[in-house]
Amino acid sequence: MVNTPCAHANTRELSRLANCTLYECGDCGLVFNEHYLKETDPHELYEEYYQNETAKRFNFGIEAIIRTFRFYRAFKIFTIYPSAKTILDVGSGRGFMLFFLKKYFGYTRAAGIQISRNAVQFSREKLGLEIYDRDLMELQFANGAFDVISMWHVLEHLKHPEKYLEKLASMLAPGGRLIIEVPNFNSWTRAFSGCYWLGLDPGFHLTYFSPKQFMNLFEKYGLSAKLRHTFSLEYSTFHSAQSIVSLLTGTDHFFFRFMQEAKFTPALILHIFLFLLVTPPCFLVNLLLYFSGRGEVLLVVAEKPRDGKAG
């Protein structure tokens, strides 16, 4: 069976928001914004994504928290497929997750793909990792080269998600797992926050996935996919809280940008107050929605059949 990526020939306007217009493909169900229709150069967008030689993205000790989350991610991968020994992480950030998998979970090969220059340098020089600084589609890996391929919050940035999935499926070893997390377009906050939903991120995010349509994509390329859950300890609570605070104040993710830019303004006091107010209920709601399909992320684990015909 030969699969070709959907050409999205049957597209309709889904909603016109203040910061972007959303379209939906009537054939495959993919939702995308107007930036998806333009030609963009990923190198231009992401080369400076990480700040400097330490490749930080955030201030105020948040980096230490992120490292803890990367360890948790490594542990999660271990629990999903304990016997795995090789991994490719597409969009590997600074590489902490790969570093932990090698150091603590017996991985013999931990490779990453990353195009942000500072992050590449950091993971190669400081963590000693095998990092490729080109787009996956320009790279050659052997068929069946990896037990696990992971992609955390990357697929929604890509121009050709289906071509990626097809290639990733072929690179998986028989029985191997593709582990992908993306924002959930069906999330509870997306339903009412309109243009203030944090996952919208027009300019960086090109496509939006909802559970059923996402599962179909994996099945199309011969993988047996399961939606593991829609809760992320790292993303969900903040994602909901920021979307709600932005909606209440009519601002463009003020606190999220403050954490990256660290420029103090008096308005920050109001934003912090609102965050303190909405964070506990957001955590609770996301926890209740753990397996519901309405949480803030989709974490999918897709297995390649042992007969190895996928891709």
Residues that bind Zn ion (CB under 5 A): 6, 8, 25, 27-28, 30
* Nearer Cβ to Zn ion (152/221): 221
Q: Is the Cβ of residue 7 or residue 276 nearer to Zn ion in the bound state?
A: 7
Taking the least distance from each CB to Zn ion, the nearer of 175 and 211 is: 211
Q: Minimum CB separation from Zn ion for residue 203, in Å?
A: 22
Characterize the bridge pairing of strands 11-16 and 21-25.
antiparallel
253: Cα within 13 Å, side-chain hemisphere: 20
Task: Name residue, tokens 């990367």.
Answer: 70
The answer to whether 55 and 121 are in contact (CB under 8 A) is: yes
Minimum distance of Zn ion from residue 198's CB (angstroms): 25
Minimum CB distance to Zn ion, residue 300 (Å) = 18
Nearer to Zn ion, 7 or 288 (CB): 7
Q: How far is the CB of 218 from Zn ion (least distance, A)?
A: 15
Q: How far is the CB of 30 from Zn ion (least distance, A)?
A: 5
Contact predicate 282/296, CB 8 Å: no
Q: State which residue, 225 or 278, has the beta carbon closest to Zn ion.
A: 225
121 CB contacts (<8 Å, ≥6 apart)? 53, 55
The CB-of-91 to Zn ion minimum distance in angstroms stands at 23
Query: Is the Cβ of residue 186 or residue 240 nearer to Zn ion in the bound state?
Result: 186
Q: How many CB atoms sit inside 10 A of residue 30's CB?
A: 23
Residue 283 contacts residue 238 (beta carbons within 8 Å): no
Q: Which of 118, 138, 120 has its CA nearest to residue 52?
A: 118
**CA 282 to CA 300: how far, in whole Å?**
23
Q: C-beta of 200: minimal distance to Zn ion in Å?
A: 20
Q: Which is nearer to Zn ion, 6 or 80 (CB)?
A: 6
Half-sphere exposure of 73 (CA within 13 A, CB side): 29
Residue 228 CA: distances (Å) to CA of 16, 80, 114, 120, 297: 31, 10, 26, 30, 10
Q: What are phi and psi of 53, to 5 degrees?
A: -65, -25
